Amino acid sequence: MSTNENQAKYDERVQRVMTAAANKEPDRVPLMPLMSSFAISLYGYTNADVMYNAQIGVDCAIKFMGEYPMLDVASGFSTNPGKGPLYEMMKPKALAWPGAPQPFIQIPDNSSHQFIEFPVLLEEEMEFFERDYTGWLFQYAMPKLTELMEPFGKWPTHTMGVNYDISGLAAQMTMPEMKNVIETLWKIDEMNKDIAKITGAGQAKLREMGFPSFGSGLGGAVPFDQYSDFFRGTIDSMMDLYERRDLIELFCEERIERNINAIRARAATLTEEDKATKWGHIILHKGMDKFLSDEQYDNLYWKHLQMMINEINACGFKCYVYTEGPYTTRIRNLKEVDKNMVVYHFEEVDLEYAKKELGDMACIAGAFPAWLCEQGTKQQVIDEVKRILDICAPGGGYIFEGGYGFGPAPKENIDAMIETVLEYGKY
Q: Which of the two residues, 53 and 162, has the higher pLDDT score? A: 53
127-137 residue pLDDT tens? 888 888 888 99
Higher pLDDT, 155 or 247: 247
| pLDDT score, position 287 | 95
Q: What is the average per-residue pLDDT within 395-410?
A: 94
Residue 75: band (very low, low, confident or very high) from pLDDT cuts 50, 70, 90: confident
pLDDT at 400 > cutoff 70: yes
Q: Is the pLDDT of residue 31 over 70?
A: yes
Which of the four pLDDT bands, split at 50, 70 and 90, describes residue 90?
Answer: very high
Looking at residues 226-243, what average pLDDT do you find? 94
Q: Which CATH architecture has domain 3-35+211-424?
A: Alpha-Beta Barrel (3.20)
pLDDT score, position 160: 60
User: Residue 10 has what pLDDT?
Assistant: 95
Per-residue pLDDT, 395: 95
CB atoms inside a 10 Å sphere around CB 80: 19
Instruction: Determine contact, residues 407/41, Cβ cutoff 8 Å.
Output: yes
pLDDT of residue 305 exceeding 90, the answer is yes
Query: pLDDT grade, residue 158 (50/70/90)?
Result: low
3-state secondary structure 226-292: HHHHHHHHHHHHHHHHHHCHHHHHHHHHHHHHHHHHHHHHHHCCCCCHHHHCCEEEEECCCCCCCCC
Q: What is the pTM of this model?
A: 0.93
